[in-house]
Amino acid sequence: MNSNQNFDIEKAWTQYKKLADKLTPSHEGIARLLNDLDQRIIETPGSMTTEGFACHPGGMILLSLRVTEKMIALSNALNLSEKIHPSSILMVGLFHNLGLIGNLTEKYWVENPSSWHREKGILYTYNENLSKSQISDRSLFILQSYGIQLTYDEWISISISGGSHHESNRFYIGHEPPLALLTQQARTWVLGRNV
């Protein structure tokens, strides 16, 4: 199934919140984050182009759910439950790309004003009012703004979730915690298959 077809945003948001609720007993800030930023999260696309993954409102939620689902499947297949706690999979899977919403006040992407670009499938453009930062850094900033404490492995996994092809992530090659490798593999699978 293509990520842009048959998408039920209400169902996806309900599923996202249900998974996030499993983390709230040990992370009170998650409930506040979801309450405060619900509309921003719901509206955020997964990519800025129709060629990318889930270029529609709710796309970020869909990406998070698919990556989390793939992380769980890979963890089970590779018998990683002794090395990676299930709550860490949920934390990283659900929130690694939270920075796609932008920051606490500004959207990351805005509707593209150029009809020529929209016809070419580039539906969104970068918000010029937002200071530059990597999506993973924004994700970490938003989480810490709500007092959500991460383990070291969760922090590193979100930080380098974009993959080792990013210059800033190359430092970790060969020394990534298993959770980070699991995250990167799940993202590669989901984004590469666009399913």
Q: For residues 24 and 116, what is the distance between their CA atoms, to the nearest angstrom?
A: 45
Whether 109 maps to a domain, the answer reads: yes
Q: Provide the mean pLDDT of the chain.
A: 89
Type of residue numbered 93: G
What confidence tens digit (pLDDT) does each residue in 39-58 have? 999 999 999 999 999 999 99
**Global pTM value:** 0.89
Whether 21 maps to a domain, the answer reads: yes
What confidence tens digit (pLDDT) does each residue in 47-102 have? 999 999 999 999 999 999 999 999 999 999 998 888 899 999 999 999 999 999 99
Question: Looking at the 3D structure of the chain, how many domains does it have?
Answer: 1
Q: Is the predicted pLDDT of residue 156 greater than 60, yes or no?
A: yes
Whether 1 maps to a domain, the answer reads: no
Whether 154 maps to a domain, the answer reads: yes
- Whole-number pLDDT of residue 191: 87
- Whole-number pLDDT of residue 17: 96
Q: For residues 194 and 37, what is the distance between their CA atoms, to the nearest angstrom?
A: 26
Whether 3 maps to a domain, the answer reads: no
Average pLDDT over residues 15-36: 93
Q: Is the predicted pLDDT of residue 1 greater than 50, yes or no?
A: no
Whether 15 maps to a domain, the answer reads: yes
Whether 2 maps to a domain, the answer reads: no
Provide the pLDDT confidence category of residue 163 given band limits of 50, 70 and 90.
Answer: low
Q: Is the predicted pLDDT of residue 173 greater than 70, yes or no?
A: no
CATH number of the domain that residue 52 is part of: 1.10.3210
Among positive and negative, which fits the CA dihedral 118, 142, 148, 74?
Answer: positive
Whether 187 maps to a domain, the answer reads: yes
| Stronger pLDDT, 145 or 184, i.e. the higher one | 145
Q: Which domain holds residue 167?
A: 9-193
